Amino acid sequence: AQSVTQPDIHITVSEGASLELRCNYSYGATPYLFWYVQSPGQGLQLLLKYFSGDTLVQGIKGFEAEFKRSQSSFNLRKPSVHWSDAAEYFCAVGAGGTSYGKLTFGQGTILTVHP
Amino acid sequence: DAGVTQSPTHLIKTRGQQVTLRCSPKSGHDTVSWYQQALGQGPQFIFQYYEEEERQRGNFPDRFSGHQFPNYSSELNVNALLLGDSALYLCASSSAREGLGIEQFFGPGTRLTVL
């Protein structure tokens, strides 16, 4: 069974500081990995995805993530955080084949940005 | 190009009642998945519909059922509502021909409150 762990429930950073959100996954085969962002009361917006190939993937809003198979991690990074980045971030793992793309999400990390 | 739409936005029901939530997928998408997101949690997979059939189901009781129509729109029905069914219900659509059938686009959700 696939699972996702986001160790940090809540992270606070200052505007302009760098950001790294951690994500560890458990999956027997090659994972398909996603980061989504959710503003309060809203749905999920896809930030970036990893299917295969280059392990450093670029997303929207200046975010990037690095897939490290040896560490079963897919951490999200941003070099300089903006106040508008305050939201909740979810890491998810998807499975192909007979799982038909079911997504398993982590518990989420709430990001607070101080001015 | 309309994204995923859901109705209603908010809903209040009492225990024991039944509820129907609706979803229209993104244009060109043929697959609809439903997720339940309890407060402070990540989304949990309920089931997925493709070609008007339930293709995969998560760990939810039979009180949760669904339907997909020929135009790919979908309904989620919940019978005999419990207080614990209070959550944000998210619909996601995908295409079997794009993004490995795994990349899912989410709607804004329906907030269900059970009193």
Digit-coded pLDDT (tens) for A78-98: 999 999 999 999 999 987 666
**Distance between CA atoms of B14 and A96, rounded to whole angstroms?**
38
Determine the pLDDT at residue A98. Answer: 62
How close does chain B come to A78, measured CA to CA in Å? 22
**pLDDT above 70 covers what percent of chain B?**
97
Sign, CA dihedral B82-B85-B91-B94, equals negative
CB A78 within 8 A of CB A62: yes
Mean pLDDT of all residues in chain A? 92
pLDDT, average across residues A27-46: 88
What separation in angstroms does the CA of B72 have from each of B22, B24, B53? 11, 7, 11
Determine the pLDDT at residue A28. Answer: 72
Closest by Cα among A112, A114, A110 to A10: A110
pLDDT, average across residues B109-114: 97
B114 near A CB under 8 A: no
Which residues, 6+ apart, have CB-to-CB distance to B36 below 8 Å? B43, B44, B46, B60, B87, B88, B89, B90
User: What's the first-to-final CA gap in chain A, in angstroms?
Assistant: 41
Q: For residue range B26-66, list pLDDT tens digits in order.
A: 999 999 999 999 998 999 999 999 999 998 899 999 999 99
Determine the pLDDT at residue B16. Answer: 97
pLDDT at B72 exceeding the cut of 80 = yes
Q: Pick A42's closest partner by Cβ from B43, B100, B108.
A: B108
pLDDT at A8 exceeding the cut of 70 = yes
Mean pLDDT of all residues in chain B? 94
B60 near A CB under 8 A: no
pLDDT, average across residues A101-111: 93
Question: Does A105 sit within 8 Å of B44, measured CB to CB?
Answer: yes
Determine the pLDDT at residue B115. Answer: 96
A99 near B CB under 8 A: yes
